[in-house]
Amino acid sequence: MAVTGLARSGAAGLAGAAVGALAQFALVVVVTRGLPPARAGEFFMVTALALMAAGVAKLDAGNGLVYFIARAGTYGYLGVSGYVRAAVVPVVVAASGAGLVLYPQLGPLAWALPAMALADVLLAATRGFGAMRPTVLLDGIVLPVGQLVLVTAAAFTYASALPLAWAAPYLLVAVLAGLALRGRAPRAPYLPGTGRDLWRHTAPRSAAGAIQAVFQRLDIVLVAVLGGPVQAAVYTAATRFKIVGQLANQGLSRAVQPRLVTALAEGDLVRARELYQVTTMWLVLLTWPVWLGYAALAPWLLDLFGAGYDTAAPVALVLAAAMMAATACGMVDVVLTAAGHTTGSLLNLLAAIGVTVLLDLALIPAHGALGAALGWAGGLLVKNALPLWQLHHRYGLRPFGRHSLAALRFRAWAAA
């Protein structure tokens, strides 16, 4: 049954997401308590810029590989290694170029960009085969825990090495992801047209993926530029809890994406509707208690980051409200791209980032971290509302319906 298979993969993804969220939260606590706010803000800005650059350089090739590998399963994964090669080479070239361009801003951290982008693409390829274990273990555990351990060691010994300590685990993850993929995609002759087919599908999504990468972390960079590094540190600490919702969404989307591609490719709207509604209910059940608790306990929770961070309680309220609204829409962009509407997804993201930038420019100079939170919330609502309407208009899909009850039955399945 679709729900049972999804439950197993989804539970694995969520387990990795939980470990990753805790490790990333602890990392922020280490940095804010180990460094003055200005130094902490500088660290958060440079790592946010690196993540943005790697997110752009990966060209969303990972999602393209998931799409083609999942479809190739119907004829024995013929030519899959060719798709992997067609994806990897442009990504490494783009990431290396980004490193050269951004070296003045990133310093030695620029040389980590190829490993950061490559790790993401190779892990995505393993998910195309329906394998969640490499992603859970490497991206959900090895990477964030490795960063936490190395950053903690650097913070208390040689603080100048913090960026390199943060970046080092990406190289290990890239190597291990390549080994995990090698056993699933044995080398085969490169079939004519492989690269053309991959990038014809992926190109619109490459732009959308770049915008998504910018959208996720542009707020931190803008706060640092417009409000100063201290405001950037406060904003990063107050919004660190949003990683809980993002990782829960990511954990489920990684499990459901190959199934959605298959269902929509076969025209099976009944199954697609079931997958969409079940995962939406899981997101609500898993994350809404977190947001409500964070909104209620924000002043006390923010004290964990050190003196003065509790002043960001209003930022926490904006974050909680925006994330609850976004979660209720479900994985709308994942469903839209699984249906092949990559251009529509690109236009939606352009609209969202436009709203974010306009609001940030208007609000950050006067309101600092709170202004950035309001700008990010506005963009997030646009990012979810547009594809929600498009899915309903084109396919009659809604985030809630009769299949939502299947998510409640998952609890009984998990207990069995």
Whether the predicted model's global pTM rises above the 0.85 cut = no
* Residue 216 to residue 185: CA distance in whole angstroms: 32
pLDDT attached to residue 416: 34
When pLDDT is cut at 50, 70 and 90, the band that residue 13 belongs to is low
* Residue 348 to residue 346: CA distance in whole angstroms: 5
When pLDDT is cut at 50, 70 and 90, the band that residue 412 belongs to is very low
Query: Is a pLDDT exceeding 60 seen at residue 411?
Result: no
Question: Region 87-116: what's the mean pLDDT?
Answer: 95
pLDDT attached to residue 50: 95
How big, in percent rounded to 5, are the helix, strand and coil portions of the chain?
85, 0, 15
pLDDT attached to residue 187: 74
Query: Is a pLDDT exceeding 70 seen at residue 74?
Result: no
* 224-283 pLDDT tens trace: 888 889 898 989 888 877 776 666 666 666 667 677 767 777 777 888 788 888 888 888
Higher-pLDDT residue of 25 and 375 is: 375
Tell me which residue of 108, 202, 129, 144 sits closest to 16, measured CA to CA: 144
Q: Answer yes or no: are the C-beta atoms of 6 and 127 closer than 8 Å.
A: no
- The answer to which of 105-109, 315-319, 408-412 has the lowest mean pLDDT is 408-412
pLDDT attached to residue 282: 83
Q: Answer yes or no: are the C-beta atoms of 352 and 382 closer than 8 Å.
A: yes
* 131-159 pLDDT tens trace: 888 988 999 899 999 999 999 999 988 88
Rounded to the nearest integer, the mean pLDDT of the chain is 84
pLDDT attached to residue 300: 87
* Residue 285 to residue 267: CA distance in whole angstroms: 29
Question: Region 348-355: what's the mean pLDDT?
Answer: 89
Question: Region 46-63: what's the mean pLDDT?
Answer: 92
Phi, psi of 168 (to 5 degrees): -55, -40
* Residue 212 to residue 167: CA distance in whole angstroms: 21
Query: Is a pLDDT exceeding 80 seen at residue 105?
Result: yes
Query: Is a pLDDT exceeding 50 seen at residue 354?
Result: yes
CA dihedral of residues 399, 402, 404, 406 (deg, nearest 10): -150
Tell me which residue of 218, 160, 200, 219 sits closest to 368, measured CA to CA: 219
Tell me the range of 4-8, 92-96, 400-404 where mean pLDDT is highest.
92-96
* Residue 127 to residue 205: CA distance in whole angstroms: 18
